[in-house]
């Protein structure tokens, strides 16, 4: 029997009407940031938005997800590929880890190819702080193309 990890996902409020298709596909296929769980069954225990800048829902969402058993909270890929990328992502990660004692992973599905091309041309992620934030979602070129 595989071990199980309970996951919460927080998306950017700009995408509040998102049905979560890319995140859920990546979770099911263990792609993008979910590739860190190769031999683990994943269970989604929460999916919500940050409630817009500066993240008014982060405290409540984290608390509810942890009450529902979340062991890891993923900050959705939309927070790094949206333009501009979330200016609060590092604060969200730090707060959730410290307040609720959960691991926080930046990213869900692989960065779609079209977003990688655009952000690369804009120089968005040239600052060294972005390297570790986008690393879990870079994937290979074929996988990125499948998420366009």
Confidence of residue 140 (pLDDT cuts 50, 70, 90): confident
Tally of CB atoms within 10 A around 59: 15
pLDDT in tens, 87-118: 999 999 999 999 999 999 999 999 999 999 99
Are β-strands 103-106 and 4-11 bridged in parallel, bridged antiparallel, or unpaired?
Answer: unpaired
Cα 72 to Cα 45: distance, rounded to the nearest angstrom: 10
Residue whose entry in the numeric block shows the structure tokens 């604060």: 91
pLDDT in tens, 119-138: 999 999 998 999 999 999 99
In the prediction, which pLDDT does 2 show? 77
pTM value is: 0.95
- For residue 23, give the CATH number of its domain: 3.40.50
Cα 41 to Cα 122: distance, rounded to the nearest angstrom: 37
Residue 139 predicted with pLDDT over 90: no
Cα 107 to Cα 94: distance, rounded to the nearest angstrom: 15
Q: By residue range, what is the domain housing residue 87?
A: 4-146
**The total number of structural domains that make up the chain:** 1
Cα distance from N-terminal residue to C-terminal residue, the chain = 34
Residue 60 predicted with pLDDT over 90: yes
Cα 14 to Cα 17: distance, rounded to the nearest angstrom: 8
pLDDT in tens, 5-39: 999 999 999 999 999 999 999 999 999 999 999 99
Residue 50 predicted with pLDDT over 90: yes
């Amino acid at each position: 029997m595989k071990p199980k990890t309970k996951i919460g996902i927080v998306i950017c409020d700009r995408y509040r009407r998102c049905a979560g298709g890319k995140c859920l596909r990546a979770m099911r296929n263990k792609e993008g940031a979910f590739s860190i769980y190769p031999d683990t069954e994943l269970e989604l225990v929460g999916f919500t938005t940050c409630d817009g800048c500066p993240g008014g829902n982060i405290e409540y969402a984290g608390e509810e997800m942890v009450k529902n058993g979340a062991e890891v909270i993923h900050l959705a890929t939309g927070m790094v590929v949206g333009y501009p990328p979330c200016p609060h992502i590092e604060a969200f990660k730090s707060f959730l880890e410290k307040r609720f004692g959960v691991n926080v992973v930046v990213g869900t599905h692989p960065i779609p190819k079209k977003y990688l091309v655009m952000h690369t041309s804009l120089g968005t992620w040239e600052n060294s702080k972005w390297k570790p934030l986008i690393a879990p979602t870079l994937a290979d070129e074929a996988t990125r193309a499948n998420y366009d």
